[in-house]
């Protein structure tokens, strides 16, 4: 790592960390999807993969506009989580327990990304990089929406199945269906908490307004209308 002498140096390090994190996840998410069981969870992980490719592309656009190529440096935090994800198949029984385990790791990944994008965006705003703030805001919104979606999945079915003392009879199909017939016995939220609802509810401006409230640097940066990054 280069020595950090300024906020600008720090921002570059954060972006390098993020692009490496996204690239590691592009490798890891298909494997997580492969070992998951519930079709709904597979769909979420596949959506996450597509989103992750988009995020890596946005970061590359930022580096292109800056006129630099990102250094190759491993994001150690995500590396740890990827290693953990590779152990899930060994430590968790296939089925709802393993699916809950996968969601657990995916949520910790999402939390790391949210915090990292939020920090990078604040630093970009402090430096007046308006266009960069916009790009990082788009990604931050998508990371938050994905995290909310994972939360809903975890709270509504998988964790209930994995922790219930009736788990074994439930797996045998003897327990009342607490949701309604779903893909692979997996609860897929509908309405405002379903996939479409979450995407609609947390789309762009609503979240931007929520995020930007109380952050004068971001508001000021966006008002300046600078063309630079
Ligand atoms: Fe991402």
Q: Output the CA 125–ligand 1 centroid distance in Å.
A: 20
Q: What is the mean pLDDT of residues 1-16?
A: 90
Domain that holds residue 104: 8-162+186-224
CA of 28 to the centre of ligand 1 (A): 12
Cα 82 to ligand 1 centre (Å): 14
Averaged pLDDT for residues 72-92 = 94
Does residue 157 sit within a domain? yes
Does residue 115 lie in a domain region?
yes
Band of residue 1 on the pLDDT scale cut at 50, 70, 90: low
Instruction: Give the chain as a DSSP string.
Output: -PPP-SHHHHHHHHHHHHHHHHHHHHHHHHHHHHH---HHHHHHHHHHHHHHHHHHHHHHHHHHHHT-PPP----HHHHHHHHHHHHHHHHS-TTHHHHHHHHHHHHHHHHHHHHHHHHHHHHHHHTT-HHHHHHHHHHHHHHHHHHHHHHHHIIIIIHHHHH-TTHHHHHTT-S--SS-S-GGG-----GGGSHHHHHHHT-HHHHHHHHHTT-HHHHHHHHHT-S--
Look at residue 110 and tell me if it is in a domain.
yes
Within-domain flag for 117: yes
pTM reported for the whole predicted model: 0.73
Q: How far is the CA of 173 from the centre of ligand 1 (A)?
A: 37
Q: What CATH code is carried by the domain that includes residue 211? A: 1.20.1260.10
Instruction: Give the residue with greater pLDDT, 14 vs 153.
Output: 14
Instruction: Judge whether 107 lies within some domain.
Output: yes
Tally of domains in the chain: 1
Domain annotation covers residue 48:
yes
Query: Does position 24 have pLDDT exceeding 80, yes or no?
Result: yes
What percent of the chain stands above pLDDT 90? 55
Q: Would you say residue 131 lies in a domain?
A: yes
Q: How far is the CA of 80 from the centre of ligand 1 (A)?
A: 16
pLDDT at 228: 62
Cα 175 to middle of ligand 1, angstroms:
37
Distance 22 CA to ligand 1 centre (A): 6
**Cα 154 to ligand 1 centroid, rounded to whole Å:** 19
pLDDT of residue 7: 96
How far apart are the CA of 77 and the centre of ligand 1, in A? 14
pLDDT value of position 201? 43
Let me know if residue 203 belongs to a domain.
yes
């Amino acid at each position: 790592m280069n020595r950090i002498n300024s906020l600008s140096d720090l921002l570059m390090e954060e972006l390098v960390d993020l692009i490496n994190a996204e690239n590691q996840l592009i490798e890891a998410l298909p494997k997580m999807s492969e070992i998951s069981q519930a079709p709904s969870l597979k769909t979420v992980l596949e959506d996450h993969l597509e989103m992750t490719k988009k995020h890596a592309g946005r970061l590359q656009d930022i580096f292109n506009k800056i006129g630099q190529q990102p250094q190759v440096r491993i994001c150690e935090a995500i590396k740890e989580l990827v290693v953990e994800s590779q152990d899930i198949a060994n430590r968790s029984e296939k089925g709802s327990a393993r699916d809950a385990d996968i969601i657990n790791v995916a949520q910790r990944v999402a939390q790391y990304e949210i915090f990292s994008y939020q920090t990078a965006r604040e630093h970009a705003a402090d430096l007046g990089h308006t266009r960069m703030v916009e790009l990082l805001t788009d990604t931050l919104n998508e990371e938050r929406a994905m995290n909310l979606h994972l939360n809903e999945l975890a709270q509504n079915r998988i964790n209930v199945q994995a922790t219930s003392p009736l788990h074994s009879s439930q797996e045998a199909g003897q327990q009342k269906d607490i949701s309604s017939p779903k893909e692979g016995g997996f609860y897929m939220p509908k309405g405002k908490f379903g996939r479409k609802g979450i995407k609609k509810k947390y789309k762009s401006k609503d979240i931007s307004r929520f995020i930007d409230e109380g952050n004068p640097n971001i508001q000021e940066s966006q008002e300046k209308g600078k063309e630079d990054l």
